Chains A and B, each alone.
Chain A
Amino acid sequence: VNQQRQITSFFGKS
């Protein structure tokens, strides 16, 4: 099953 990832799991708070 393809799970939708969130953008926050790739880019951290700056």
Chain B
Amino acid sequence: MLELRLVQGSLLKKVLESIKDLVNDANFDCSSTGFSLQAMDSSHVALVSLLLRSEGFEHYRCDRNLSMGMNLGNMSKMLKCAGNDDIITIKADDGGDTVTFMFESPTQDKIADFEMKLMDIDSEHLGIPDAEYHSIVRMPSSEFQRICKDLSTIGDTVVISVTKEGVKFSTAGDIGTANIVLRQNTTVDKPEDAIVIEMNEPVSLSFALRYMNSFTKATPLSDTVTISLSSELPVVVEYKVAEMGYIRYYLAPKIEE
């Protein structure tokens, strides 16, 4: 038996919007730690890792570890039927083939049940090793979204370079080139507006902008984004999910052959 009650139901709505375009079908894993998901896109270039810790739910009951295969497009359709202020409860029976999403309005005058069919998904779980990253950049998520959107109108690939001067985002295409440099800036009124560049070693890596743009669908979840880079390793683009967890996107670099 599984019963997870999330008072801030809009978080789950936003989480789905952040991953449904990248991944079609995925297993949601439920354990005493929390509600989690790990899935790759169909071309195995990007991986998304989601964790919503059990402590973040108002009520969290998970009698045994459960893996539920869901079509994220269908799940998104159902969650779109929840109001932004609704409390969302996820319910499932052990060994059952459906999951129920219950939406309660804040005033308790409307209660809706949506039952969705589960599916069997053969997915391989990858081990993500702990890595020391050469450079870590924290910036406003809206700024990162703007940069990815702007650069993708010029080229297909972004080169992200971190030096002691700052972080540079570059692209090139048929019509020309573009370079955007951000310098560290911590003298801001609000901490979420800061640009913090932690450089242990300079690093420069190339990534497909199509994926970066897809990651920025998570922008409504968090005011800030953290980008962790190491030579010849996948980049990690992380958005916190309130106080309860995170969405981490891993993207394999383009490497000169």
Contact = CB atoms under 8 A, between A and B. Distances in A.
Interface string B21-55: 00000000000000000001001111100000000
Nearest to A10: B234
Contacts of B252: 4-7, 9-10
Contact of A3 (B47, B234, B255): B255
B257 interface: yes
Contacts of B233: 10
A11 B257 CA distance: 20
A3 B229 CA distance: 18
A5 B126 contact: no
A12 B126 contact: yes
Contacts of A4: 45, 208, 252, 254
Interface residues of B, number: 25
B190 interface: no
A9 to B, nearest CB: 7
Q: For this complex, into which size category does the number of interface residues on chain A fall?
A: 10 to 19
B122 interface: no
A7 B44 CA distance: 6
A11 to B, nearest CB: 4
Contacts of B251: 7
Given A3-B254, A7-B40, A13 B125 contact: yes
B235 to A, nearest CB: 11
B127 A13 contact: yes
B208 A6 contact: no
A5 B254 contact: yes
B46 A11 contact: no
B161 to A, nearest CB: 14
Contacts of A13: 124-127
Interface string B210-243: 0000000000000000000000011000000000
Interface of B: 40, 43-47, 124-129, 157, 206, 208, 233-234, 250-257
The 6 closest A-B CB pairs, nearest first, are: A14-B127, A2-B254, A11-B126, A5-B252, A3-B257, A6-B44
8 contacts: A2-B256, A6-B43, A6-B252, A7-B40, A7-B126, A10-B252, A13-B127, A14-B127
Given A5-B254, A7-B47, 15 more contacts: A2-B256, A2-B257, A3-B255, A3-B257, A6-B43, A7-B40, A7-B126, A7-B251, A8-B40, A11-B129, A11-B234, A11-B250, A13-B125, A13-B126, A14-B125
